[in-house]
Amino acid sequence: MRRCTTLFLADDDADDRLLMKEAIKAIDPSIEIVESENGQELLTVLQSQTVLDRCLIILDMNMPKMNGLETLSNLRIIPRLASLPTVMLSTSGNPDMIDFAKKLGALDYYIKPSNMDSLLNLCRHLISEKAGHPDV
């Protein structure tokens, strides 16, 4: 995977988005972060983008209007969005949801960290392993 330059973050919790942005920017300030409050908004934003070849999508599982699984399912049926690398975040570790997310094409599924150190570690992993930044 080529180095990620844009991260699309969909989460209805403004505090969670803020903490995620702070952690990502602490690791790599050059990554552009595009926020959405729900899956419908994310799909609209993605469809308006002209270049999507160097991005990573982070989806919260529980969002209003369109949850993470519904969003992932919709991403996979839109040809130009179908292959975008996507990971899921949730407060739930329900094995059935994890399995279903992976069957829908999620690269991985993570439990939301409960403290900033764990969030930094998760973001470091996402940026180095899922977004193509091996030097992070």
pLDDT of residue 3: 65
34 belongs to a structural domain: yes
* pLDDT value of residue 68: 93
What pLDDT does 10 receive?
Answer: 97
Where the chain has pLDDT below 50, the residues are 1, 133-136
Is 41 inside any structural domain?
yes
* 136 domain-assigned: no
Whether residue 108 lies inside any domain: the answer is yes
pLDDT at 128: 79
pTM: 0.89
pLDDT value, residue 117: 94
Domain annotation covers residue 18: yes
In the chain, % of residues over pLDDT 90: 73
135 located within any domain:
no
75 lies in some domain: yes
Q: What is the pLDDT of residue 106?
A: 94
State the residue range of the domain holding 33. 6-130
Flag whether 121 is in a domain: yes
Three-state SS across the chain?
A: CCCCCEEEEECCCHHHHHHHHHHHHHHCCCCEEEEECCHHHHHHHHHHCCCCCCEEEEEECCCCCCCHHHHHHHHHHCCCCCCCCEEEEECCCCHHHHHHHHHCCCCEEEECCCCHHHHHHHHHHHHHHHCCCCCC
Return the pLDDT at 1. 44
- Domain of residue 37, CATH code: 3.40.50.2300
Confidence at residue 73, expressed as pLDDT on a 0 to 100 scale:
95
Q: How many domains is the chain built from?
A: 1
